[in-house]
C-alpha cells in the first residue's frame, strides 16, 4: 500500500521508552543484539520489535479455548490492524508505539505489505494448530518470522536484492529454533504443534508423543533432523551478512550466533526438549559475541 508520509505528533521519547521496555522484557537475546547497533538503528529496531510483539501478545496471552474466545482474539487482531493502518496512513493513533512504528516504516521505506503478512500469520494462529508438511509450516513462518528479517534489512540498508533472500532464511532459522526449543510449551499452553505432521510420521511419531512428553530414540532422531535443517538455514542466512550495510552487520551476526547456540544447548540436552527450556547465560552470550564479531568481519 503506497502512502505519502503523514505528519506525526506524539511523545516520541515516551514511545521509544515503551518500545525499548517491550523489547527488553520479551526478547532478551534480541535486546542484547540490538544494543550493538548505532543508536539510531537501536531506536528503529525497538519500534519494529514492539510493533510485532503487540499482536503476538494478543494471540499468546488470550484464552482460545472456545469459539467465542477465538472470535474475540480475531476481533482484537482486526482492531489492531485497523489502528495500525490509521497510524500508517494518517500518523494518528491511540497508541504512541504504533505512531512510532509508522514513522519508522515511512523513514526506512519498509514495504507496508510486510506488516500485513505478519498480521495475517497472527490471525492464522487463532485457527490453525497443526501443519501437514514443511511447505505449509514455511508459509506460516514467512509471515511470522521471515518478514521480520526483511523489515530489518530495510532498516540496516543493503545494495543487492539477493540480500533479502538471506534475510528470509535467517527468519526461518530463528523461528525453527524457537519451535524446537518450545515444542513442549507450545503444545501444553496453546495446543499448537509447529512441526510437519508428515515428517513426524516419517519418524514414527505423532502429536501424541508431544502431548505425552514421550522422548524416544525416534524423537531424538526427529529433533536431530530438524536441527540439521535449522543449521543449514543459518549457513545460508549468514552468507548474506556481508551484503548488509556495515553498521548493521555485527548486531545481525550476534543475533544469528546467539540463536544458533540454542541448538547447541538442545544437543547438550540430548535433543530432549521436555526437561527444561534451554537458554544461554550472560557469560555464554559474551563468548558468543566474540564469535559473532569474527563472523561480521568475514
- 3-class DSSP state of 214: coil
Task: Calculate ∠ Cα 182-141-69, nearest 5°.
Answer: 70
Q: Return d(Cα 243, Cα 240) in angstroms, integer.
A: 5
C-alpha to C-alpha distance for 163 and 141, rounded to whole angstroms = 18
Residues 6 or more apart in contact with residue 123 via CB below 8 angstroms? 74, 77, 78
Q: Are 71 and 40 in contact (CB under 8 A)?
A: no
Domains and CATH numbers, the chain: 10-127 (1.10.600.10), 129-298 (1.10.600.10)
**What's the whole-model pTM score?**
0.94
Dump pLDDT digits (tens) for 99-150: 999 999 999 999 999 999 999 999 999 889 999 999 999 999 999 999 999 9
**Residue 56 banded pLDDT, cuts 50, 70, 90:** confident
pLDDT higher than 80, residue 62: no
Whole-number Cα distances in Å, 130 to 120, 187, 193, 257: 16, 10, 5, 29
Q: Give 124's contacts (C-beta < 8 A, 6+ positions apart).
A: 140, 143
Give φ, ψ of 196 to 5 degrees.
-65, 125
| 167-177 pLDDT per residue, tens | 999 999 999 99
Contact 178, 264 (CB under 8 A): no
Give per-residue pLDDT as tens, 240-279.
999 999 999 999 999 999 999 999 999 999 999 999 999 9
Q: What is the pLDDT of residue 67?
A: 82
Residue 2: the pLDDT is: 65
Q: What does pLDDT average to over the chain?
A: 94
Contact of 58 with 122, CB cutoff 8 Å: yes
Residue 70 — pLDDT band, cuts 50, 70, 90?
confident
pLDDT computed for residue 92 by the predictor? 95
Considering the chain, what percentage of its residues have pLDDT values greater than 90?
Answer: 86
Dist CA 28 CA 198 (whole Å):
33
pLDDT at 68: 85
Amino acid at each position: 500500500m503506497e502512502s505519502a508520509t503523514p505528519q506525526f505528533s506524539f511523545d516520541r521519547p515516551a514511545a521509544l521508552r515503551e518500545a525499548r521496555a517491550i523489547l527488553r522484557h520479551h526478547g532478551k537475546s534480541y535486546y542484547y543484539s540490538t544494543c550493538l547497533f548505532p543508536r539510531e538503528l537501536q531506536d528503529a529496531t525497538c519500534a519494529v520489535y514492539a510493533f510485532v510483539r503487540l499482536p503476538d501478545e494478543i494471540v499468546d496471552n488470550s484464552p482460545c479455548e472456545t469459539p467465542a474466545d477465538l472470535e474475540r482474539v480475531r476481533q482484537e487482531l482486526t482492531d489492531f490492524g485497523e489502528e495500525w493502518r490509521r497510524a500508517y496512513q494518517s500518523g494518528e493513533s491511540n497508541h504512541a508505539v504504533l505512531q512510532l512504528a509508522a514513522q519508522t516504516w515511512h523513514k526506512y521505506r519498509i514495504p507496508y505489505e510486510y506488516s500485513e503478512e505478519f498480521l495475517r500469520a497472527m490471525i492464522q494462529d487463532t485457527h490453525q494448530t497443526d501443519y501437514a508438511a514443511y511447505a505449509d509450516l514455511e508459509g506460516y513462518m514467512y509471515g511470522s518470522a521471515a518478514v521480520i528479517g526483511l523489515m530489518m534489512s530495510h532498516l540496516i540498508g543493503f545494495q543487492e536484492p539477493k540480500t533479502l533472500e538471506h534475510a528470509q532464511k535467517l527468519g526461518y532459522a530463528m523461528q525453527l529454533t524457537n519451535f524446537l526449543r518450545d515444542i513442549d510449551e507450545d503444545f501444553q499452553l496453546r495446543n499448537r504443534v509447529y512441526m510437519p505432521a508428515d515428517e513426524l510420521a516419517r519418524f514414527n511419531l505423532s502429536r501424541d508423543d508431544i502431548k505425552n512428553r514421550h522422548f524416544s530414540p525416534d524423537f531424538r532422531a526427529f529433533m536431530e533432523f530438524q536441527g540439521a535443517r535449522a543449521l543449514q538455514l543459518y549457513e545460508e542466512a549468514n552468507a548474506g551478512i556481508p551484503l548488509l550495510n556495515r553498521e548493521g552487520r555485527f548486531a545481525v551476526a550476534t543475533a544469528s550466533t546467539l540463536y544458533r547456540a540454542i541448538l547447541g544447548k538442545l544437543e547438550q540436552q540430548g535433543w530432549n526438549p521436555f526437561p527444561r527450556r534451554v537458554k544461554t547465560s550472560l557469560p555464554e552470550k559474551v563468548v558468543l559475541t566474540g564469535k559473532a564479531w569474527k563472523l561480521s568481519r568475514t
